[in-house]
């Protein structure tokens, strides 16, 4: 699982990296995630920010696209014992 993450991180040198951005399910849709991302943008690296989103998290992916993030690269998940419906 970690090798693809490291490979993706290495494709975005000089960026601040948002490792985890999450809210409680009952708080979803209240703008908290967007507010957290705006906070991260204030502390970005010299080349902006980067983040990694699994392909099965379509709501988060759509939010990041709306906020100006772009798909730059995709790597196959290496799950081992980690449970996820995603592939990338």
pLDDT in tens, 30-83: 989 889 988 999 999 999 998 888 888 888 888 889 888 898 888 777 766 656
- For the chain, how many structural domains are there in total? 1
Query: Do the domain assignments include residue 39?
Result: yes
pLDDT band for position 86 (cuts 50, 70, 90): low
Q: Concatenated DSSP letters for 5-69?
A: HHHHHHTSTT-EEE------GGGTTSSHHHHHHHHHHHT-BTTBEEE---TT-HHHHHHHHHTT-
Query: Do the domain assignments include residue 43?
Result: yes
Query: Do the domain assignments include residue 85?
Result: no
Print the domain residue range for 59: 2-66
Query: Do the domain assignments include residue 47?
Result: yes
């Amino acid at each position: 699982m970690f090798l693809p993450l490291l490979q993706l991180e290495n494709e975005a040198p000089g960026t601040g990296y948002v490792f985890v951005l999450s809210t409680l399910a009952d708080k979803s849709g209240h703008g908290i995630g967007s507010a957290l991302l705006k906070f991260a943008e204030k502390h970005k690296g010299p080349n902006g920010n980067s983040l990694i989103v699994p392909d099965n998290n379509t709501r988060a992916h759509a939010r990041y696209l709306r906020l100006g993030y772009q798909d730059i690269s995709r790597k196959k998940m290496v799950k081992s014992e980690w449970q996820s419906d995603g592939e990338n």
